[in-house]
């Protein structure tokens, strides 16, 4: 992991002091509501329906055990004993007092954490693969480059006041778990034929009101020029992105208006000025950062698969958990473990202070003191020895972190929705819960197989509904909460390109949703060939059979 | 009377500016070499502007970052004179503006100049380079 030095800490302490002074000016009436709004957003504080929400940055989703314990303490002392794992790998607190936020930020700074640029029209926290440096299918560990981008984008003098928020995601695996095709900028990092680290740059992707798949605008960008290229790209966006209408202000609208080729040329032209300039990365710096992410030396283990097979046989619950929550590691004898937060009755991503402490303890005991947060709102222990899996599994039960459902129907992505968010058209959490209750049976879920259900409470799409195999979107129909359902979206993992869902038809009332789900599932089960998963089946048969089943019934 | 923050031999100072001291601003359409030029945030900078006696960038809103990119580009074409931010600027954005090459700020009426002056340099170091300090932090890190 990246280790802060004195200069990193000095900046962070100055930032907290700066924000503390701004908060005081606001509370004394010296700072207007409008101005303070912009400043607090850039320090993570967003005001929701019921109370302010503080979004803490978890850079590229990586946490040390000590950092997770600090978050747990904050949840206890300043919140109601829980936090929320967001779809951008961050942690949110829902009930902080505005006046106490500087104290919370100070507590975060003590463990080298912050909430800088987690809201507002600026460059946000860079996200990546939750299995970075661990996944067997990875080519290059993306985290050093995420850290370089984090440092470069923090309090950037020119790009702090963009037309709109700007999200960057990086993947180092062709199995893209970071959804780079639906980000403002997506980076694919790999090694070229000369074994040099290079990037393919995608721009103009995004969800929200106008979902778009990003366009590749640069191929094999050398690492040394990563920041000079980003500078050029952000400059073009900052100057020409629309500012007259916030719904048309994201970079995707600019890319579409100019055309992807013209946008790429504009960036390339600006890059002629920045390329080779002062932001060019020196090899010494690239190596300094890369060195901090070198994998911990993992103790060599002999192949454990035979014992594991026996343990599986003896313990069916453990066996299910291995099947769904444990994925291959690049080092033999190790595995990546996902701890699902998706249990019935708990909003997806909500975790208690006790759960955070427990996960921190398990990370110390079994995973090199490292934890990840996935954009599917789960915890990940990235480096667990296979011989420790059973011991870990046994501990997870007491914390309700043992659900064997990763990638299955009840492992839904869900935004906070109308229960918390002031922008919502409809609640999303009760929908997730109703689906979990009705279809929670393991055998049924297992039979349905890989299924991403994503729920957003409004067009802003924080629940990524466009890229769910089944997407559920809260809409307002004459003042009542309704839900629009789409099929066939995909975020780009499992070696398939990303795709955007197609709307099924007229929306449904809340109590109709579980029934509609049942009809979607049964249509799939009736139509599938052999082992065909939901998405492949949908791609083959199209949306019509689903429409027929669902709307035929409701018409009669 | 408006307050101007400007840099006098390395020190930021506040001066009260009377109406008679207001520069005879020209727009980019009427401007000629040697005159003070005031532009909107959406113009394309011209190399001939190097000869302006003063350049002002008029911000329509303090959240409009176009003026920051424009300042960077005006410095890139080689303009060395005073670069002034005016219009709807805000004291809490000044420190970003300084790093984009602005050297003076015409404060809005409701802005307390003492507060603005205190807001101008809240940080010792920054990660990335800027117009006034092109080398990024790591290069100083390496030396230190
Ligand atoms: S999708 Fe809408 S309702 Fe849900 S969190 Fe985002 S803004 Fe709020």
For residue B114, list chain A residues with Cβ-Cβ distance below 8 A: none
For residue A243, list chain B residues with Cβ-Cβ distance below 8 A: 64, 66
Residue B40: the pLDDT is: 98
End-to-end CA distance of chain B: 46
Question: Same domain, yes or no, for A101 and A144?
Answer: no
* Nearest chain B residue (CA) to A147: B127
| Rounded Cα distance, B116 and B106, in Å | 11
Question: Same domain, yes or no, for A310 and A288?
Answer: no
Instruction: Give φ, ψ of A542 to 5 degrees.
Output: 75, -175
pLDDT digits (tens, 9 = 90+) for A344-398: 889 999 999 999 999 999 999 999 999 999 999 999 999 999 999 999 999 999 9
> Does the pLDDT at position B82 exceed 50?
yes
Closest ligand 1 atom to Cα of A421:
8
**A14 and B136: CB-CB below 8 Å?**
no
pLDDT digits (tens, 9 = 90+) for A386-431: 999 999 999 999 999 999 999 999 999 999 899 888 899 999 999 9
Closest ligand 1 atom to Cα of A425:
3
> Does the pLDDT at position A469 exceed 80?
yes
Mean pLDDT value across residues B20-24:
88
- Supply the CATH number for residue A51's domain: 3.90.480.20
- Tally of structural domains, chain A: 4
Question: Same domain, yes or no, for A99 and A160?
Answer: no
In a domain, A125, yes or no: no
pLDDT digits (tens, 9 = 90+) for A482-507: 999 999 999 988 888 899 999 999 99
Among A244-258, A297-311, A510-524, name the one with the lowest average pLDDT. Answer: A297-311
Per-residue confidence band for A204, with pLDDT thresholds at 50, 70 and 90: very high
Chain B interface includes A157 (CB < 8 A): yes
Mean pLDDT value across residues A265-288:
97
**A235 and B69: CB-CB below 8 Å?**
yes
Residue A290: the pLDDT is: 96
Question: Ligand 1 mean position to A422 CA, how many Å?
Answer: 8
Q: What is the mean pLDDT of chain A?
A: 94
> Does the pLDDT at position B143 exceed 80?
no
DSSP symbol at A299: P
Question: Same domain, yes or no, for A526 and A504?
Answer: yes
**A152 and B136: CB-CB below 8 Å?**
yes
Question: Same domain, yes or no, for A540 and A496?
Answer: yes
Residue with more model confidence, A295 or A244: A244
Question: Same domain, yes or no, for A342 and A435?
Answer: no
Chain B interface includes A10 (CB < 8 A): yes
Q: How many helices, marked H, and strands, marked E, lie in chain A?
A: 18, 21
Residue A556: the pLDDT is: 44
> Does the pLDDT at position A341 exceed 50?
yes
CA angle A511, A515, A516 (to 5 degrees): 105
Residue A95: the pLDDT is: 83
CB atoms within 10 A of CB A510: 16
Residue B142: the pLDDT is: 65
Question: Same domain, yes or no, for A503 and A426?
Answer: yes
CA angle A238, A242, A247 (to 5 degrees): 120
pLDDT digits (tens, 9 = 90+) for A162-194: 999 999 999 999 999 999 999 999 999 999 999
Question: Same domain, yes or no, for A186 and A230?
Answer: yes
Quick check: CB of A382 below 6 Å from ligand 1?
no
For residue B128, list chain A residues with Cβ-Cβ distance below 8 A: 151-154, 156-157, 227, 279
Q: Is A113 exposed, middle or buried (0-12, 13-18, 19+ CB in 10 A)?
A: buried
Sign of the four-CA dihedral A23, A25, A31, A35: negative
Question: Same domain, yes or no, for A268 and A365?
Answer: no
Question: Same domain, yes or no, for A541 and A435?
Answer: yes
Mean pLDDT value across residues A297-308:
81
**Domains of chain B: which residue ranges?**
2-13+25-140
> Does the pLDDT at position A446 exceed 90?
yes
- Supply the CATH number for residue A436's domain: 3.30.413.10
Question: Same domain, yes or no, for A171 and A281?
Answer: yes
Could you tell which of A413, A457, A473 is best to mutate to test the pocket of ligand 1, judged by most ligand atoms within 8 Å of the CB? A457
pLDDT digits (tens, 9 = 90+) for A453-465: 999 999 999 999 9
Interchain CB contacts (distance < 8 Å): A and B: 105
> Does the pLDDT at position B144 exceed 60?
no
In a domain, A79, yes or no: yes
> Does the pLDDT at position A555 exceed 70?
no
Could you tell which of A41, A46, A84, A416 is best to mutate to test the pocket of ligand 1, judged by most ligand atoms within 8 Å of the CB? A416
Question: Same domain, yes or no, for A196 and A267?
Answer: yes
Residue A344: the pLDDT is: 87
| Rounded Cα distance, B43 and B45, in Å | 6
Instruction: Give φ, ψ of A85 to 5 degrees.
Output: -85, 120
Sign of the four-CA dihedral A261, A263, A265, A268: negative
In a domain, A310, yes or no: yes
Q: How far is A162 from chain B (nearest CA, A)?
A: 6
Mean pLDDT value across residues A502-522:
96
């Amino acid at each position: 992991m990246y280790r802060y030095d004195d200069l990193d800490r000095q900046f962070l302490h100055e930032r907290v002091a700066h924000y503390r002074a701004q908060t005081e000016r606001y509370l004394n009436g010296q700072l207007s509501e409008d101005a303070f709004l912009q400043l607090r957003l850039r320090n993570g504080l967003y005001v929701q329906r019921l109370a302010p929400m503080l979004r803490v940055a978890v850079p590229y989703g990586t946490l040390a055990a000590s950092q997770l314990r600090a978050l747990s303490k904050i949840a206890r002392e300043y919140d109601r004993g829980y936090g929320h794992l967001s779809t951008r790998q961050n942690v949110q607190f829902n009930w902080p007092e505005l006046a106490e936020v500087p104290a919370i930020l100070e507590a975060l700074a003590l463990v080298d954490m912050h909430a800088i640029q987690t809201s507002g029209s600026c460059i946000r926290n860079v996200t990546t693969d939750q299995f970075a440096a661990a996944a067997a299918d990875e080519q290059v560990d993306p985290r050093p480059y995420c850290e370089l981008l984090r440092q470069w984008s923090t309090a950037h003098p020119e790009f702090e006041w963009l037309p709109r928020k700007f999200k960057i995601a990086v993947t180092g695996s062709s199995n893209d778990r970071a959804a780079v095709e639906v980000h403002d900028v997506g980076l694919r990092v790999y090694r070229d034929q000369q074994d040099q680290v290079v990037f393919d740059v995608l721009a103009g992707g995004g969800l929200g009101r106008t979902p778009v798949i990003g366009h590749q605008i640069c191929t094999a960008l050398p690492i040394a020029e990563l920041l000079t290229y980003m500078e050029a790209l952000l400059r073009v966006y900052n100057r020409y992105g629309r500012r007259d209408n916030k719904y048309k202000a994201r970079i995707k609208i600019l890319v579409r208006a100019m055309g992807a080729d013209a946008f790429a040329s504009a960036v390339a032209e600006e890059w002629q000025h920045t390329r080779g300039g002062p932001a060019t990365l020196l090899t010494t710096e690239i190596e300094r950062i890369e060195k901090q992410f070198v994998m911990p030396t993992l103790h060599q283990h002999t192949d454990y698969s035979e014992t594991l097979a026996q343990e599986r046989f003896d313990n069916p619950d453990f066996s299910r958990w291995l099947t769904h929550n444990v994925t291959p590691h690049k080092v033999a004898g190790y595995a990546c473990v996902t701890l699902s937060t998706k249990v019935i009755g708990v909003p997806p991503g909500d975790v208690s202070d006790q759960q955070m402490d427990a996960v921190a303890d398990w990370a110390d005991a079994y995973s090199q003191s490292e934890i990840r947060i996935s954009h599917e709102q789960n915890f990940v222990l990235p480096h667990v020895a296979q011989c420790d899996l059973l011991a870990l599994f046994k501990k997870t039960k007491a914390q309700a972190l043992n659900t064997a459902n990763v990638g299955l129907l009840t492992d839904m992505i869900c935004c906070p929705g109308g229960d918390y968010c002031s922008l919502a058209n409809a609640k999303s959490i009760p929908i997730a819960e109703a689906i979990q209750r009705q279809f929670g049976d393991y055998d049924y879920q297992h039979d349905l197989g890989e299924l991403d259900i994503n729920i957003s409470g409004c067009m802003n799409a924080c629940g990524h509904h466009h890229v769910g195999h089944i997407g559920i979107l809260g809409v307002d129909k004459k003042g009542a909460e309704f839900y629009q359902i789409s099929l066939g979206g995909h975020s780009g993992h499992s070696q398939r390109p990303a795709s955007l869902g197609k709307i099924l038809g007229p929306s449904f009332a809340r109590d109709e949703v579980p029934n509609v789900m049942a009809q979607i599932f049964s249509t799939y089960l009736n139509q599938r060939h052999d082992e065909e998963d939901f998405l492949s089946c949908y791609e083959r048969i199209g949306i019509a059979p689903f429409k027929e089943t669902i709307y035929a019934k409701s018409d009669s | 009377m408006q307050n101007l923050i400007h840099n006098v031999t390395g020190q930021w100072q506040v001066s009260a500016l009377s109406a008679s001291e207001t520069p005879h601003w020209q727009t980019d359409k009427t401007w000629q070499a040697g005159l003070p030029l005031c532009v909107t945030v959406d113009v394309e900078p011209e190399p001939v502007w190097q000869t302006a006696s003063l350049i002002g960038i008029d911000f329509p809103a303090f959240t409009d970052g176009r003026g920051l990119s424009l300042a960077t580009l005006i410095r890139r074409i080689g303009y060395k004179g005073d670069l002034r931010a005016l219009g709807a600027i805000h004291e809490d954005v000044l420190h970003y503006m300084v790093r984009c090459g602005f050297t003076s700020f015409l404060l809005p009426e409701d802005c307390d100049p003492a507060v603005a002056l205190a807001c101008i340099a809240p940080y010792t170091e920054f990660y990335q380079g800027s117009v006034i300090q092109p080398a990024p932090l790591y290069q100083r890190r390496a030396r230190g």
